[in-house]
Amino acid sequence: MTASTARPSADVTKLAALARGRTVVALTGAGMSTDSGIPDYRGPGSPRRNPMTYQQFMGDAAFRRHYWARNHLGWRFMDATRPNAGHRALAALERSGQVRGVITQNVDLLHTKAGSRSVIDLHGSYAQVRCMGCEHRISRMSLAERLDAANPRFAESVSAATGVEIAPDADAVIAETAHFRVVDCDRCGGILKPDIVYFGESVPRERVDAAFAMVESAELLLVLGSSLTVMSGLRFVRRAAKIGVPVAIVNRGATRGDEFATVTLHAGCSETLTAIGGQLVAGFQT
């Protein structure tokens, strides 16, 4: 029996039953994108990684140089990734009216690429760069052109880019970055930073408020691929539980939000959403 024809598990059936007749808001984390080839930080079997903090990036020019050298190779990998079956299933459910919106902790834009329209990119996007001085924003492609000019043949000098390991936030895992030249804002000379919320940095208040409003409009909060280790995501699960919105969690391992969940599935997002897609559509039809 193939995966596509296998009978849904009892847990999947239970999730579909919980969803029946309810409008859903999805909260997604890194586990949503692993099937697209983007690694996560905390999933089972993931290597130990130490993400850049806001304090390191802003306070140390060496850290910024190291980051931009790695990102200069890695961001194109993220730009080239494509949505997986889970992203496409959520987009289809939004089009049919069952999913009201998506709050994502990911910066990969894969929900948008899949066709989801009501998306809150909680932690920003890899595709934009912000000046920390004058707040001017440019595309990551525009910055790439400037970095290419400042660092000719850099990619060729690093062992073939296609063999470079990619980390979760669009970084290439490379060691030698000492000779990389960083560029600053061409308007005010300020520090350029990816328009991504780093560890140690706060999510913009208006974005948080919009996400809370989306949760409060839901009849089911569906958590997909997040360990809820950081408060950035966990606070929405707590809010849902506090106001009586049921919570369902699909993740390959245990999460900090399991105590609030009506249903928990220790499974992959793509396989689960594919399995329940038809049931969800039927369950939301009135």
Q: Determine if residue 99 is labeled as part of a ligand binding site.
A: no
Q: Determine if residue 151 is labeled as part of a ligand binding site.
A: no
Q: Determine if residue 252 is labeled as part of a ligand binding site.
A: yes
CA separation for the pair 209, 79 (Å, rounded): 28
Residues in the chain, total: 286
Which residue is catalytic, options 66, 87, 111, 123?
123
Q: Determine if residue 285 is labeled as part of a ligand binding site.
A: no
Q: Determine if residue 84 is labeled as part of a ligand binding site.
A: no
SS in 3 state form for 111-151?
HHHHCCCCEEECCEEEEEEEECCCCCEEEHHHHHHHHHHHC
Q: Determine if residue 217 is labeled as part of a ligand binding site.
A: no
Q: Annotated catalytic, 123?
A: yes
Q: Determine if residue 227 is labeled as part of a ligand binding site.
A: yes
In single-letter form, the type of residue at position 202 comes to S
Q: Determine if residue 134 is labeled as part of a ligand binding site.
A: yes
Its sign, for the CA torsion 242, 245, 248, 251, is negative
Q: Determine if residue 31 is labeled as part of a ligand binding site.
A: no
Q: Determine if residue 12 is labeled as part of a ligand binding site.
A: no
CA separation for the pair 209, 219 (Å, rounded): 18
Token pair of 90 as six digits: 């959520």
Q: How would you label 237-269 residue by residue, b for 16+ Cβ within 10 Å and e otherwise?
A: bbbbbeeebbbbbbbbeebbbbebbebbbebbb
CB 26 within 8 A of CB 218: no
Q: Determine if residue 105 is labeled as part of a ligand binding site.
A: yes
Q: Determine if residue 215 is labeled as part of a ligand binding site.
A: no
CA separation (Å) from 69 to 60, 195, 218, 253?
Answer: 15, 17, 42, 33
Closest to 180 (Cα-Cα) out of 60, 69, 64, 75:
69
Q: Determine if residue 190 is labeled as part of a ligand binding site.
A: no
Q: Which residues are annotated as a binding site for NAD(+)?
A: 105-108, 225-227, 251-253, 269
Q: Which residues are annotated as a binding site for Zn(2+)?
A: 131, 134, 185, 188
Question: Which residues participate in the annotated binding site?
Answer: 105-108, 131, 134, 185, 188, 225-227, 251-253, 269
The residues annotated as belonging to the active site are 123
